[in-house]
Amino acid sequence: MLGNLENTKPNPGHYALAGLEGMGILKSVLTQNIDGLHEKAGNKRVLEYHGSVFKLRCPSCSSRFKREEYDLERLALEEKLPPRCDKCGSPVKGDVVHFNEPIPSDVAHESLEEAWKCDLMLICGTSAVVYPFAQLPRITRQRQVEQERKTESGLYFVKSEAATMIIEVNAELTPLTVEGISDYLIQGRTAEILPKIVEAVKELSK
């Protein structure tokens, strides 16, 4: 149904995110995509919320393996399926999370941590309707910091404000836009918008 993902190549949007990571600005990529394109583009810190078609995973110890590390055809001929985890010996499965399967606990926990501590969140090319992934920006929005402000009369007061700026890069409005979760919407295709953001960042860094 998804075609041959082996030959699928990253688009300029993927490379733009890898560029931001290389500049030390982007700290992590949280993705629902299972195509492995963020890693192909060069991102190092990728949390694949729904897994990857190119990996196998041990549900017991959460170890992940490249698909080519196991010769499944040979194991089938030797009647040694399912393959076993090299770390703990438990059966391994495809890394992709299917309907009614839980999100792997390690990815769910790390994603929550990243969403909670970030100071800027880019939401790129998503409908924002698939849960629990769509809950992450809403969790981010709940984080508040106290800022000292000065009135015109010279008095100081402390005000709670959102700790994170949330920017959507999407072709269409999403529930995050409508609900006011996002601070800004840059409307357009991620493959066109994200490279422009990278160029703007480079200009600001000069």
Q: Which of 206, 100, 111, 118 is nearest to 163 (CA)?
A: 118
- Whole-number Å distance between alpha carbons of 136 and 128: 10
Q: Is 50 one of the annotated active-site residues of the chain?
A: yes
- Whole-number Å distance between alpha carbons of 197 and 31: 19
The one-letter amino acid code at 149 reads R
- Whole-number Å distance between alpha carbons of 123 and 109: 19
Residue with token string 């600005």: 25
The one catalytic residue in 14, 50, 98, 109 is 50
Contact 55, 64 (CB under 8 A): yes
Which residues form the catalytic set? 50
